[in-house]
Amino acid sequence: KTRQGYLGHIKRFLLFIGKDQSKVTTEDIKNYLVHLMIDKKHSHSFVNQSISAIKFFFFSVLGRTDICYNLPRPKKEEILPDVLSQEEVFCILRSVKNIKHRAILFLIYSAGLRVSEVVNLQVNDIDKSRMLIHIRQAKGRKDRYSILSEITLNILRKYVREYKVKDWLFKGGNEGSHLSERSVQNIFKEACTKANIKKDVSVHSLRHSFATHLLEGGTDLRYIQELLGHKNSKTTEIYTHVSQRDLAKIHSPIDALDIEV
């Protein structure tokens, strides 16, 4: 994914500049970054990755040392994740009738999985005796375990019996391949439409909701960090900003006023 992302950034840059690579200057790079920020209104993280890709291409690949690489990077935006309420998650899951689609969405929410993780699961990764899910070589090339819920296990049993699953837990259209991430995204989008969910959410929002609901239920942040596979605890701490557990205890001062409405 990093390779694909870098290639995309480099291609877009060279198309914008419209000149030979050997004639590109520091000013060209700066003008392109301004174009991304002002004209295209891309996020700061997108622009930061563009800088990294361009620097890698010119310095590490082409060996250009005549370009200034100490380019100012835009400060990363602090964007809170989109979280669904438990009632909204219930409506989404209830709207799905296809047993394979149900198994996928139940797994993502009940274990806090990334889309890439759920499609890469194999049958042997479901540890029924320990009620754990083995996620192999996930983001950062790390293995980890997450929890396997009783409800999700029952759905998986029905799914495995019906589809006669052997290797990949969720087989794709081509022989020997697993289901694509785009297919899972489409499954979630269709479920949201059926459930009449108006929020601007993606399938990754189920993972955010898993973490937030655990936190609101009193689960220690350190355990949530392990379940999600976050390397840095600060990444997990973002869920404290979207949790209602502590905010619900705070009453607005206007509620103390005797005002008729």
Q: What is the pLDDT of residue 121?
A: 95
Q: Please name every residue paired with 146 in a beta bridge, in sequence order, or none if there are none.
A: 133
On whether both 134 and 204 belong to a single domain, the answer is yes
Q: Where in the chain does DSSP place strands (E)?
A: 126-127, 132-138, 142-147
Which pair of structure tokens corresponds to residue 30? 């700066």
pLDDT in tens, 33-78: 999 988 888 888 899 999 999 999 999 999 988 887 787 787 776 6
Alpha-carbon distance of 176 to 109, in angstroms, equals 26
**Is residue 80 domain-resident?**
no
The residue assigned the tokens 């047993």 is: 99
- Rounded distance between C-alpha atoms, residue 81 and residue 243, angstroms: 11
Residue 251 belongs to a domain: no
Residue at 195: amino acid letter: A
Q: What pLDDT is stored for residue 154 in this prediction? A: 93
pLDDT score, position 243: 72
Please give the mean pLDDT across all residues of the chain. Answer: 88
Structural domain includes residue 256: no
Same domain, 145 and 21: no
Helix axes 204-216, 86-95, angle to 10 degrees: 140
Nearest partner of 106 among 84, 87, 89, 88, judged by Cα: 89
User: Which amino acid, 186?
Assistant: N
pLDDT exceeds 90 at position 98: yes
Task: Give the list of residues 6+ apart from residue 51 with CB closer than 8 angstroms, or none.
Answer: 33, 71, 73
CATH number, domain of 34, equals 1.10.150.130
250 inside domain = no
**Annotated catalytic sites, by residue?**
114, 139, 204, 207, 230, 239
Residue 31 belongs to some domain of the structure? yes
**For residue 261, pLDDT beyond 70:** no
Instruction: Answer whether residue 122 is part of any domain.
Output: yes
Identify whether residues 108 and 53 lie together within a single domain. Answer: no
| Closest among 9, 102, 110, 84 to 51, alpha carbons compared | 9
The whole domain housing 25 covers: 2-61
Domain at 230, CATH number: 1.10.443.10
Residue 66 DSSP class: S
Has residue 251 got a pLDDT over 80?
no
Do 133 and 213 fall within a single domain? Answer: yes
pLDDT at 252 over 70: no
Where residue 155 falls among pLDDT bands split at 50, 70, 90?
A: very high
Is the same domain home to 178 and 212?
Answer: yes
Same domain, 195 and 127: yes
CA distance 51 to 57: 10
Distance, C-alpha 123 to centroid of its chain: 23
Residue 77 lies in a domain: no
In a shared domain, residues 214 and 164: yes
Tokens at 105, concatenated: 């969405």
Considering only residues 258 and 120, tell me which one the structure prediction assigns the higher pLDDT: 120
Whole-angstrom CA distances from 176 to 68, 119, 123, 187 are 47, 13, 14, 21
Q: Which residues contact 56 (CB under 8 A, 6 or more apart)?
A: 6
The predicted-structure confidence for 216-239, as pLDDT tens digits, reads as follows: 888 888 898 999 988 888 778 878
Task: Tell whether 73 is covered by a domain.
Answer: no
